[in-house]
Structure 1
Amino acid sequence: MNEKNPESEPHRIDDINRRLYDRRYESHDISRHNLSHDDNSVPSAWESLSNTAQNGKRTPIMKLIFICALIFCVGAIVFMLISLSQGRTSVSNDNIKLTSVGKQFIDAGEDVGYRLTITNKNSVPLELVDLVLEYSTTSNVVPGRGIERTRRTIGTILPRQNVEEEFDIVLYGQEGDERYIKASLEYRIGGSNAIFVKEDTFNVSIRSAPVVIQINAPDSVVTNQPLTFSVDVRSLALSTLNKTLVRLEYPSGFQFDSAEPPPTSGTTDWVLGDLAPGASHLITIHGFLVGNVGEEKTVTSTIGTFDESNRELLTTIYGSSSHMMKLEKPFISAVLSINNSIEDKVIVDESDAINVIINWTNSLPTKVSDVRITTKMQGGLFDAKTIRVQNGRYDSNTGVITWNQDTQDELNTLEPGENGTSNFFFNLNPIVNTTTGGIIRSPRMDVSVDIRATGSDGTIYTAQDVDMATILINSALTLEQGTLHSSGPFAITGQVPPSSGQITMYTLHWKVHNSANPVSDAVLTAHLPTEVTWLGRTSPNSENITYNTETRNITWNMGPINAGVGFSTSAREAYMAVSITPSSTDVGTIPYLTGDITLSATDTYTKQQVTTTKRGHTTQLMGDTTQNDGLVVE
């Protein structure tokens, strides 16, 4: 394949040059064509932009911009002219100055000496001017109360004029309280009905209260011991304080007993009325403070002005005081144990013997001597003839049991932490008087311990009711049973005494009594042996008596039983018919007709379950008109 070399080929210019000077070159005529002629006339001058298509589209936007600029300029000029023409009648709050002058620290009840200066720096007058003064008279204990408002008409304040107003303001409160005085200037300007306001606030601190109220009470007390404390009120005010009231707030566990003078309302409020300068009052309160050892209890007293329409509200607080007391152990602690229970309430049955043990301990860091322990029993349920005291003495005249160094050697001197016991026994009196039929309803008795001793420094220590316990007595729910053959509501057949191989019918008779307290959910149950047949006859029909063929149990659902049933009112009774066919092996014996009989219910007074169990019925007649030994014969 032959490749061409561009450098070997003659250049076209060289070719033209060769032909130009070549003698043998012959020229050729080339036909030519005429070009068409367009007549495009060219204008001799610039035309308007509006005549061009492109400028025609931009013209409305430019006009709009121009018009807006023109309107803005005209508006600015008009606004400037109006502002210049009205500048002399405009009012600015910044050109009104309120200057408050007064005492920033006062004693409660003292005049603040408040003065307010109003300066109008505007070029126009302030018209229909009112000055409103607002200040707090209380600690805002009651929302919406204790606010004083005063309105004073000023009239017109001319340009560049100063107006000075003075007010007599007396403020009350507790030491350290802050009070404010708020001044509001209300005004109008010419040609306007709008009300404009300029405000200023002035703060005042109270250096001292107008009344001193103080609680005088011990720093530590023994729980459940008599407590006496006082509230001392003294007026330091320069003027009379009207409608004053002292209110106490007791701690939890405080039990009010009495006071001198007595409270005006309940146990917390004392109305003192008008308290003159220098006047004083003393309130003494007696009570008990109960709680756990180590607890801190605070009592608070407050004096203020009460609301005439509602004395529960204190509109102004003049002063308050608080005092904290700590509960401590008694100098000798004592714990009562009744029938091995140290609970505050001990439940016993009427038939129980009562064993009381006093466990005592010297709680002081020093020894004590000549210790005397006394116990009182209240309620009249104990049988005095049965009281037995170990190492002590019972005084039947006062009903007090005493242990001292004469009866118990350990009580001569007790070292710190030394402990011991003192105890006694007694039985209870019957709840039901079988002679008169009288019943002691809701029976209870109280046992308390008092202690007296002499400290190593000769101080006499006394403590009342160091420990107390209440004994509640369950109702006596009893069952009286009978086995009948000749009597009862049913027709009974068979031989008595029963004979081997012969059917003998019996009537079971149950009679329920209830003594002191109402009971609920009373149920009586008994089980029938296999040789005894349930005959399905019961009386009266009003009683709910059922028999379960699977368990062979008789159940009498009695429900609630009132106190006194069987004593002051008729007993609850029920009858049931059964039969037995003795076998030859029963000859010479007295077979059982039922198993043990159980009567149970809930005592609604003691909240305890009471239960009575009796031996079951036998073929031996009880309560019947016919008597026999119930032995089975051939």
Structure 2
Amino acid sequence: MQDDFKKDGLENLKKRLYRKDEEIDDTKERVEFNRSRIDGPSLYWQNKMQSQGKPKLKKFFIWMSITMILVFAGVAAYFLLSGSNIISSKNINLEITGPSYIDAGSPVILNIFVENKNQADLETADLILNFPENSFSPDGSPLERTRISLGKIKSGESMNKTINLILFGLENEDKKISGSLEYRLAQSNAIFAKDVDYTVKILRPAIGLSIAMPGEINARQEIELSVDAVSNSESIVKNVFLSMSYPPGFQFASSDPMPSSGQNQWSLGDFASLQKKTITIKGLIEGQDTEEKTFNASVGILGENGAIIPYGTSFSSAVIRKNPLALTMFINGDDVQKNILKAGGTVRTVLRWQNNSSSPIRDVVIELALNGSAIDGNSLSVSKGNYRPSDQKLVWNSSTLGELAYIGVGQSGEAQFSFSIKNVLPIVSENDKNFSVSIDAQISGNSTNEQSQNFVVSTETKKIINILSGLNIEPSIFYRSGPFKNTGPLPPKINSETTYTVNLSLSGNSNDLSGVKIKVPLLPYVRWLNSFSPSGENLSFNDRDGTVVWTIDKLLSGTGIISPKKEVSFQIGFTPSVSQENSSPILVGDGEVSAFDDFIKDYFNATIHSLNTVLSSDQGFKSSEGHVVK
């Protein structure tokens, strides 16, 4: 019933809402609530707080005040009563004093001052000094890092330490020495430190360098430069090396003294105070017209990597000027300053000229001198030229080579000749070694300048041919000959051991050889008997690869020519197997020899032929004794 009423009432209201001129005013007056505000707790809670909260809050503030007073009192007492135990690095003086400027290589005295201004002692104090590169003690020992024990430094105590050293370096280089005072506190393992640095500037290097050379150089002509090294040090400078850096286009020919390594490093040894040493370097320079060429030199000691740690440096430059009449010499097709050839080799030489001037050149003459006892005079052949016996020169002129009568601007041409090196070099004394051939050529002609004045233009060029040392290696094998008594059947018999003597002989070297090493392998079925003669030779056997190694530190030139051959013999054992019947098995395989030619400054290698059971060098040997039998 009530639901039907609500439904009908809503329907009537809806109709009235959409009826025209209908007014609805069924609203009723609202009743407002009481808006009184409660501003605090009730009286009950106020009484409760007054009776319980005030005493607790009061006690809290009282205890807080007492605690703060005690804390401040404790801190004050700590500082007042324990102030002597408070240590600060600011209260430690650490000073390194010495000169501000020095000459490298001169003795330097440093004073190190330590003062403890704290109210407590410094326990187990150590002074640590770190030195820069190229620092040395007065006795020459390198200095890197030094620790000096100072022990206990009492409150108010000070001390001085003196350090003597020698510093090397470049001009205007700063050298820094860092110091650190490490210390501990009483009843503590912690380490504290006070640091200080000292810097000194090098005014003058220990060794002064200078390079003397022409300011202008003709292209493709030999140049000579002189490098002077002078000690500025008051003390001895030890183990000094000098290194050169050459510009592109420079070909090293020779030097006095010769380099100790390669073509650009020299060992100069020790320098006394004010001592001077000079190196003269010769070579050929190439380059374009007006191109600048710079040579750099440095002197110092060798570092661990083989590079020089410099004490002094220098450089010098020259400008290339193009030759008006250029002359280039080719040896066997190569245009290099220094050539290497074996004894018996052939030298084919081409001389090529070119007119680089702005005027023609007339009546040109080429003269060439050959020098060297290694030349085979009978092999000399000259194309379109003559040999002049009066001064032993080869000559080309317009009568033999018509092109030389007139060489126009930019024109070029060439002349040729050839000769051979002797097969057997003339070694008759210990001074006959390090054979070389020099070829000096000069071209000259007449020209005219812009003022119609006649003048002579000329150019020189030079080549060196160094003769590589030969070395004869003669291996041989014996049964009846040699220093050992051999045993076993001959011919060798299956399953029976026969011993043999192997001999190695060296001879015929024209240059001194260093580090000579001969290696010969024994076949797997050959046994090393550990017997060799002379017993003083450096001979060894490697049982892992079956190789016999003979090492010779120095083989002097003329061995086997003006002095006895260098020989060694060793004994081996051979037990044939069934598979080797009726054969002549190899006992010693192909070997090899390597050596350093002290004159050429390079290594060479050669091979050694194998040895079998055919004893062709043995006395009384019969061909039937060389084959394995049952």
TM-score by length of 2: 0.48
TM-score by length of 1: 0.48
Larger radius of gyration: 1
